[in-house]
Structures are given as C-alpha cells and as structure tokens.
Amino acid sequence: MTVAGGTRVAVRQRLLEPDERAPSLPEDTAALPYEALVRGILLEPAEVGAHATVRTATGRVLSGRLEVVEPADLHTFGRPAPALIAVDEAISELLRRLRG
Amino acid sequence: MTSKSTAYAAVMERRAEILERALGIDYVALERGGVRFDHDALMDIGLDLDGIRQVQRDAGVGETPLVELHNVTELVRRGAGPGKGARILVKDEAANPSGSFKDRRASLSANHARRTGYAGMVAATSGNYGAGVASQAARHGLRAIVIQEAFDSRGRGQPEILEKGRKCETLGAEVIQTTVGPELFYLLLRVLEETGYFNASLYTPYSVRGIETLGAEIAEDTRALCGCDPDVVLATHAGGGMVTGTARGLLAVGADHTQVVGVSVDLTGLHMASDGAFNRKSFTTGHSGFSIPFTSWPDRVDVPRNAARPLRYLDRFVLVTQGEVFFATELLARAEGLERGPAGNISLAAAIPLAAELDRDQVLVISETEYTGAGKAPTPQLAFAAEMGVDVRNGTRDDDRPGEVISIPLSLDQLGVTPVDLDRLRSSYLRKAMTMPGAEAPAAQAFVAADLGFGVKDLVALSV
C-alpha cells in the first residue's frame, strides 16, 4: 500500500543489531536487535514496510521502515478484574460501617 | 562532511564530551579524587529556595494542596491499638501542570536551558517525568524529545507507558519509543549529540533541587493545618530524587525532626533489562528494581555524578507489594474521592500500616499524588498483567509474587511493609567505594560517611 506524503505515520529504526548491543545483557534481550519507533509526517509517498522519511514533532528528519499509518493511542480503562471488583465491594462495606 | 560513528562503543567513548556540552556542568572539576566529589558545589545552581519557588511559580508549578485523608485515617484508627493511628495527609501533586511532582524537576532544567541558549531538552524516561519535560519545554518555548523504553520484542507496551507517551505528544514533544535494553542511555547520547539540546536528566542538580520546594511546602502546609511539623514523610522511592529533594526541602525550612521514609514496590526477582520480564511488572517506576541499586550506588545514571544521594537522607526504607498498591488506589478513590495514582499510592499503601504504629496526635504526610486515566488506572494495569500471564487474585501480601501473582488484599489490616536493611545497602555502597582509587584517604572517608548518612567511626565497624 502506498501512503501519501503528508500522512502521519510511525517508522521503525534499527539502531543496533544483536551483535552490536551493550555487553552483559540478559540472554533473551541480547538475541534481539535494539529498535525505536518514532512518529512523524511522511515527507514523500512510501510503501508500508519500505524505507520512509518523516519529519518529527521537533522538526528532525528521520528515516526508517514505515510501520504504522496514522498511529493511534488506543490504550483504554480496561476490563475490571474480578479481584478488583471484590476489593471495591469490600471497601464499600468498610465505608458503610464507618458512616454507620 | 564527516559523520561520527554511531557504533555503541564509539558513542559511549564520546560520553564525557557529549554530556559536558549538553549540560554545561564540569563534573571533572568537581572531582576530589577517587570516590569523592564536591556534592555541595554540584548542588549550587545559583538559586536559593526562594529563587526556586519564583521560577516554579512563574511556570505554574507547585503550591499544590495538602489534603487530609479523614476517612482513611478513621479506618486505620478503628483497626489500630488504643491511642494509635496518626493523621494521614497527602500532597496533591496531581495539581501540577502535567499532573505530577515531576514538573518541579523539569522546571529548573527548562529555566536553565532557556537562559543558557539551548533550543530544546531531551530526557530518557518512561515515567511522568517525560510529560513534565514536555510541559515545561512548552511553557519556556523550547523543543522536547522524550525517549521511552516502551515495547518488548513482540511490540507490546504497558498501557501506563503508552499513556505517558501519549501525554508527551499531546504536550508537543517528540517521543522515541524503544525496545527493551540499557542502550536507552546510548540513544540519549546520540540524540543529544545530534540536536545539541539540553540533557534534562533526572539526576542533575536542577532536577533534584527542583523538588526541595515540595519538602518545604510539606512542612509549611502541615504547620498551617496541624500546628506542628510532620512526624513522618513517606516518599515513593526509585532513583533517589524524590527522597533527596524532599528531605533537603524539609531541612531547609527547619523540619529537622521529620522522619523520611522511602517506599518502593517490591519487584524482587524481575530482571529490569530482560525482554521477557519487561511486561511482567505492573509498575514502571517506584519499584525495587530501581531503588535498591540506586540507593546502594547512586552514580549509575545518565550523568557522571548523581545529585540524588538517598542514603544521606533516608531514615527508613520499606517495600510494599503490587497488590497492596492496587488496594490503596481503590481506597483513595472510594474513601476520599481522589482518583489518583499509581505512584503516590505506593506510599499510601505503606502509610496505612505505619500510621497504625504511630500515636493519634502524630502526623504522617504522603509526598505526592499523580494524575491517572486510561492506561494508568488499576483496571488497565491488571487487565494487561492478566494478558501477560500474571495471576491476579485476592489474598495477602505473602502471596504476592512479582511477575507471577498479584495478590490484592481485601482489608486494611492485611497491609504491611517489608523493611529494607539500610545497613546492608550502606555496606554494599562501602564495598564498591573501597574499590575506587584514593578511597583510604581521610577526605574520601568523610565523603563516603556523608553519603552513608552517619559518622566515619561507624564506617570502620561496618567495613569489617
């Protein structure tokens, strides 16, 4: 898919290959590359998964692999855990007793 | 044009020159041989407490309400022994511009960066500090870059970190989100070198002295409300800044009998640099994975010397469980009408059992709240923990297993604290200090003794 220039995207940069990383990492981390994801405005049309250049919020121009088109913040308030509902019930009961 | 190598070792080798340009502090000139450096000179930023207050007032920072938790206090008293149950108050730091006390830390950096001609600030943090830097940069007309350790290798990020990233972007900052690893520091150096921006590290004197107003306000507000100094101040403890700055502020206004207690979430056993363990912790800061190593050796940070020296100021250090903090968060919302957290609620969890040990006429102050919302509230945190395979259930603190079980108590009397042996941390500091050149000199020993918070003669006893 070609993404139009001017679209807000996120690009992934590979900063260090596994063999270039810091010494003394735990085994699981040491086997992985060190990468960063940065959001910005796409400067030229580019394919998802291909090399792309963006301008970030501070005006820096960065390149990386185009990973997300119009990245969104989709974290939520979540579904309450049964253990948390039990806590809320218990606290309500404590407060009922406190207020007589 | 020649571009400098971005290889790990090459960047780390340029560390001293990059940091000097990005901070303007000549740390080498402050070194006094071996383990010793001139901490007092480092802390001299050309502003006294009133000067710091003025900078913060101009930036809309500080002078937050001190709120008495009447209902929590009453619930504690009902379960405590006769005459026991101290008054519990909390400094509502969520009222700061970006929603946490971190604005105090960012404000002096932003003020200094603007006055000395930097175009922007950079901070490496997954915490509220990023939003503080972004907010203060906006107020001072500076650019801001926040580097967050955010994702594991499967691209999953804790909802709390994602929320903090969102907030930084909303406040105009560029956010760089990385995979797991200590190379965060390497990346910080690269970004500082490329941009020429100011290093708004959490561990500079600007950052730590910015917290002194919090300690001073806690003493002054408590005097106004209760007619006495706080007997105990509980400070959520990670890198040492909150403990150091708050204690210095208390001392600056003469509250020298107030006990300062550091509180962290117990995450014993989780490796902080492990990709697999990264998302098995429900707390991104204020936990033992930071506080234990940073207390026993403060100079492991992104500047040559850490302005925060927690052993100089800690009277007591305790751990609480993850489940206890979730209980405290719900209690604060339902009993007091304050939806806050999670950071200050780490201290609230400890305040409940500690207040029960104190007399009724004593006063215990929790040093902070923080803003909450999507990603940060207990529901998304626990939903994410369950997705990561953590067992979330009701039970006692003894059942809590970091990375495996979050055990949430159902009553106040199930809350407790695990003491951290400060002498063990002092001993660890001492062992490390004694390996440094010149450590035997009397002046070096005096510095170490100051860092450890007691006299030189005690050092000898501890070192054998």
**Helices B241-252 + B212-226 axis angle, to 10:** 50
- Angstroms from A60 CA to nearest CA on chain B: 9
Strand segments (E) across B94-163: 120-124, 143-151
Say what the pLDDT of residue B282 is: 81
* CB within 8 Å: A76 and B375: yes
- Residue B178: closest C-alpha in chain A: A36
Question: In chain A, what residues touch B165 (CB-CB under 8 Å)?
Answer: 73
Question: In chain B, what residues touch A63 (CB-CB under 8 Å)?
Answer: none
Q: Cα(B15)–Cα(B82) distance, rounded to whole angstroms?
A: 58
CB-count exposure of residue B82 (10 Å: 0-12, 13-18, 19+): exposed
pLDDT exceeds 70 at position B219: yes
Cβ–Cβ contact B174 with A under 8 A: yes
pLDDT tier, B2 (very low <50, low <70, confident <90, very high otherwise): low
Which stretch of B28-32, B114-118, B198-202 has the lowest confidence by average pLDDT?
Answer: B28-32
Say what the pLDDT of residue B36 is: 85
Q: B101 with B131: CB under 8 angstroms?
A: no
Q: Is B438 left (phi over 0), alpha (psi -120 to 50) or beta?
A: left
Which stretch of A37-51, B343-357, B440-454 has the lowest confidence by average pLDDT?
Answer: B440-454
pLDDT exceeds 90 at position B104: yes
pLDDT tier, B461 (very low <50, low <70, confident <90, very high otherwise): low
DSSP B382: H
Say what the pLDDT of residue B271 is: 79
Of chain B, the percentage scoring pLDDT greater than 70 comes to 97
Say what the pLDDT of residue B112 is: 97
Question: In chain A, what residues touch B381 (CB-CB under 8 Å)?
Answer: 78
- Cα-based angle A80, A82, A83 (whole degrees, multiple of 5): 105
- Residue A91: closest C-alpha in chain B: B331
Q: Which of B142, B115, B357, B399 is nearest to B259 (CA)?
A: B357
Q: What is the pLDDT of residues A46-58, one digit of tens each?
A: 999 999 999 999 9
Question: In chain B, what residues touch A26 (CB-CB under 8 Å)?
Answer: 271, 273-275
Say what the pLDDT of residue B130 is: 97
Q: What is the pTM assigned to this prediction?
A: 0.95
Say what the pLDDT of residue B464 is: 39
Say what the pLDDT of residue B459 is: 57
Mean pLDDT calculated for residue range B19-35 = 90
Greater confidence (B271 vs B316) lies with: B316
Q: What is the pLDDT of residues B163-195, one digit of tens each?
A: 999 999 999 999 999 999 999 999 999 999 999
Torsion angles phi and psi, residue A13, rounded to 5: -110, 130
Greater confidence (B198 vs B301) lies with: B198
Q: What is the pLDDT of residues B116-128, one digit of tens each?
A: 999 999 999 988 9
- Angstroms from B315 CA to nearest CA on chain A: 32
Cβ–Cβ contact B384 with A under 8 A: yes
Contacts of B39 (CB under 8 A, 6+ apart): B305, B307, B309, B447, B450
- Angstroms from B246 CA to nearest CA on chain A: 31
Reading the block at residue B383, the tokens are 């939903």
Q: What is the pLDDT of residues A11-38, one digit of tens each?
A: 999 999 999 999 989 999 999 999 999 9
Reading the block at residue B432, the tokens are 């490390």
Mean pLDDT calculated for residue range B219-233 = 98
* CB within 8 Å: A87 and B379: no
Residue of A14, A17, A28, A55 to mutate, interface with B, max B Cβ within 10 Å: A28
- Closest in B274, B327, B412 to A29, CB measured: B274
Tally of residues, chain B: 464
pLDDT tier, B1 (very low <50, low <70, confident <90, very high otherwise): very low
Cβ–Cβ contact B133 with A under 8 A: no
pLDDT tier, A63 (very low <50, low <70, confident <90, very high otherwise): very high
Question: In chain B, what residues touch A16 (CB-CB under 8 Å)?
Answer: 8, 183, 186
Q: B129 with B202: CB under 8 angstroms?
A: yes
Mean pLDDT calculated for residue range B309-322 = 96
Q: Cα(B298)–Cα(B428) distance, rounded to whole angstroms?
A: 12
Q: Which residues of A3-33 are buried (b: 16+ CB within 10 A; e: fewer)?
A: beeeeebbbbbebbeeeebbeebbebbbebe
Cβ–Cβ contact B4 with A under 8 A: no
Mean pLDDT calculated for residue range A40-48 = 98
Q: Which of B64, B418, B85, B83 is nearest to B217 (CA)?
A: B64
**B 248-287 near A (Cβ less than 8 A):** 271, 273-276
* CB within 8 Å: A81 and B163: no
Measured CA distances, A47 to A53, A67, B32, B158, B177 (Å)? 11, 9, 57, 29, 22
Mean pLDDT calculated for residue range B304-314 = 94
DSSP B21-76: HHH---HHHHB-STT-B-HHHHH--S--HHHHHHHHHHTT---PPEEE-HHHHHHH
pLDDT tier, B32 (very low <50, low <70, confident <90, very high otherwise): confident
Cβ–Cβ contact B151 with A under 8 A: yes
Mean pLDDT calculated for residue range B357-376 = 97
Say what the pLDDT of residue A100 is: 81
Q: Which of B50, B90, B451 is nearest to B244 (CA)?
A: B451
Question: In chain B, what residues touch A94 (CB-CB under 8 Å)?
Answer: 75, 335, 411-412
Torsion angles phi and psi, residue B133, rounded to 5: -65, -45
* CB within 8 Å: A21 and B183: yes
Q: Which amino acid is at B198?
A: F
Say what the pLDDT of residue B283 is: 83
Question: What integer best gives the mean pLDDT of chain B?
Answer: 93
Say what the pLDDT of residue B439 is: 74
Question: In chain B, what residues touch A58 (CB-CB under 8 Å)?
Answer: 120, 143-145, 173-174, 195
Mean pLDDT calculated for residue range B50-57 = 98
Mean pLDDT calculated for residue range B69-84 = 97
